Amino acid sequence: MEHQTFDDEELAGKLTPEEFRVLRRNGTERPFSSPLNDEQRGGTYHCRVCQTALYSGEAKFDAGCGWPSFDREADTDKVKRLSDNSHGMVRVEIRCATCDSHLGHVFPDGPTETGTRHCVNGVCLAFVPDQDP
């Protein structure tokens, strides 16, 4: 897997302040604020910073939590998991493995056979809909 390094000063000029805060400063967007939360079309969800394909629309489900949720990543090499003990909680942070941008967290409470819920900040994702045949 190819790792890409991005200069935060340069990214600050390319991303919105909210995108930069969440992706590069480990922030969290307000729940139910992303239009991607309600996106139901087939397609692929890419990292907003490096455009790596992270999630398939087939893995997306409505968790009712206010953030786009997926039961698995498109390729396990594209999303890395890290222990996160911030805010007095023990969680698993998910980051783009290509550019190390913060995406959200993964929880062991998903309703599908994977048992996982990747809770991803919508501002971290760029949605590319499937092309009609």
Residues identified as active-site: 119
Q: List 126's β-bridge partners, or say none.
A: 46
Residues 6+ apart with CB under 8 A from 120: 45, 54, 55, 67, 68, 69, 70, 94, 103, 104
Q: Please give the backbone phi and psi of residue 106, each rounded to the nearest 5 degrees, phi first.
A: -115, 135
